Structure formats: structure tokens, C-alpha cells
């Protein structure tokens, strides 16, 4: 039997699809693989985190995190349920560090630094960007880029700022696990800087994130 060559335009017509579809390769497997690596990096530090906590940590959609965890069989370590707390524990604040800047008058440079992070897609991979901004001048005083999101990402951003500026009076962040890590807390307290925290994903540092992201 003699086979006759069929060009891609004719083949696409016979299959009832567009010609470009013959060249299309789904990017989802590569993206899922990248998300898997990021999930594993979070679970390495926080093995008990479920998909919602991981999504908050990575600032990704929780449905995507749940789907990828199911796809690759990633499961958090299940701790034994705790006994009901005492009545005295019920009134504890959501974070052990108060929001020191809620009603504070910011009237000078180096009074308050705010820090936050986000992710950037770069050639099919995630790159995490942490920034530190002076709340008075709105100047980005420090930043750090890393392939993985963890406490070292945000610590390096603070250290970058301290190479050029004196320690601020207050460092403000949200309640993310990286800022609540013992390594980050030890670093800040060793410099006699006060720690201030607000609720998750509620920071003036978003301005710094957008500014540095647009420059990369």
C-alpha cells in the first residue's frame, strides 16, 4: 500500500481541528511538577500543613494545591487531636505579636519597615520575591529572590536592607509561617527590633512588591 503525504493543513481539516492544535503541548504537567516541588518545600518545614495552609504559604489557589497534592499523593502528617483547651486559653489573641502600627504616627525614616513576599512565574517555574519597605519614605530598602518560599527567603530580604541601613525600630509583617518561624524571630529580636504583625495578607508592603516586580 502506497502512503501519500498529507500536509498539516489538510490533516487538520480532516480531523476537524485548527492547524495550531497539531503543535500544541499542554503546559499543565510542567506547571504541576513545579507546584509539587513548592508544596514539598513547605511540607519540609511544616509537615502538618493541609492544602489550605500550604496555599496561604505559597499564595496560590487552594483548589490547585489540593489537585496537585492529590495527583502526586502528597499528604500532611496527621497529628493527634489536642485535648480541649482550658477556659483561660479561649481569649488568647490570634497572634503572639500585636499590631504596633495600627494607630502609630509614622513621622520619620527608619521608624517602621514592612516586609512581604509574592511569587513570579519565570520560564515555567516559580521565583519568590521578598521585599522590605520603609513605611515613611515608601522606599524599598531590601529584597531577595529565591526559588523556594521559606524563612530564609524573608530573612535574606531583611539582611539585604541592613547592609545599607541601620536597624529600624519596628518590623511589621503578616502572620505567615516564615515570619513566625523561630529563626526569623531570633534574627529580629537579636537586633533589638520590635516585631509587629497584622492579619494574614493585609500589608502596606504590597506597594513594594509591585514596584520591585515591575522592575525585574
Question: pLDDT band at 87, cuts 50/70/90?
Answer: very low
> Domain residue spans in the chain?
26-79, 112-215
Q: Is residue 105 very low, low, confident or very high in pLDDT (cuts 50, 70, 90)?
A: very high
* CB distance 37 to 53 below 8 Å: no
- CATH for 112-215, among 3.40.50.10470, 3.30.420.10, 3.30.499.10, 1.20.1510.10? 3.30.420.10
Decide: 135 and 195 in contact? Cβ < 8 Å: no
Which residues is 140 bridged to in the sheet? 133
Question: Would you say the C-alpha torsion 41, 42, 48, 51 has a positive or negative sign?
Answer: negative
pTM for the model: 0.61
- What does the alpha-carbon distance between residue 33 and residue 159 come to, in Å, rounded to a whole number? 31
**DSSP 8-state secondary structure symbol assigned to residue 20:** G
Report the pLDDT averaged over residues 147-159. 89
Closest CA to 113 of 133, 131, 141, 98: 133
Average pLDDT over residues 13-24: 58
Long-range pairs of 75-84 with CB within 8 A, sequence gap ≥ 24: 76/43, 76/47, 76/48, 76/49, 76/50, 77/47, 77/48, 78/48, 79/48
Question: CA 148, CA 151: separation in Å to the nearest integer?
Answer: 10
In tens, the pLDDT along 26-74 reads 567 888 888 888 888 888 878 888 999 888 888 888 999 999 999 888 8
Q: Could you give the CA distance from residue 63 to residue 68 in angstroms, rounded to a whole number?
A: 9
Amino acid at each position: 500500500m502506497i502512503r501519500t503525504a498529507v500536509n498539516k493543513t489538510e490533516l487538520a481539516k480532516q480531523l476537524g481541528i485548527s492547524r495550531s492544535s497539531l503543535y500544541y503541548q499542554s503546559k499543565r504537567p510542567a506547571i504541576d511538577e513545579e507546584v509539587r516541588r513548592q508544596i514539598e518545600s513547605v511540607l519540609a518545614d511544616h509537615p502538618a500543613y493541609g492544602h489550605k495552609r500550604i496555599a496561604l504559604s505559597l499564595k496560590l489557589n487552594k483548589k490547585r494545591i489540593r489537585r496537585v497534592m492529590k495527583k502526586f499523593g502528597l499528604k500532611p502528617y496527621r497529628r493527634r487531636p489536642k485535648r480541649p483547651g482550658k477556659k483561660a486559653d479561649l481569649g488568647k489573641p490570634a497572634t503572639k505579636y500585636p499590631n504596633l502600627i495600627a494607630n502609630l504616627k509614622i513621622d520619620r525614616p527608619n521608624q517602621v519597615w514592612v516586609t512581604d513576599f509574592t511569587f513570579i512565574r519565570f520560564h515555567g517555574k516559580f521565583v519568590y520575591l521578598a521585599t522590605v519597605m520603609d513605611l515613611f519614605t515608601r522606599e524599598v530598602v531590601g529584597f531577595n529572590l529565591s526559588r523556594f518560599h521559606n524563612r530564609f527567603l524573608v530573612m535574606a530580604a531583611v539582611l539585604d536592607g541592613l547592609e545599607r541601613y541601620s536597624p529600624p525600630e519596628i518590623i511589621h509583617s503578616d502572620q505567615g509561617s516564615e515570619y513566625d518561624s523561630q529563626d526569623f524571630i531570633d534574627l529580629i529580636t537579636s537586633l533589638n527590633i520590635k516585631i509587629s504583625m497584622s492579619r494574614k495578607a493585609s500589608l502596606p508592603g504590597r506597594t513594594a512588591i509591585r514596584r520591585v516586580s515591575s522592575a525585574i
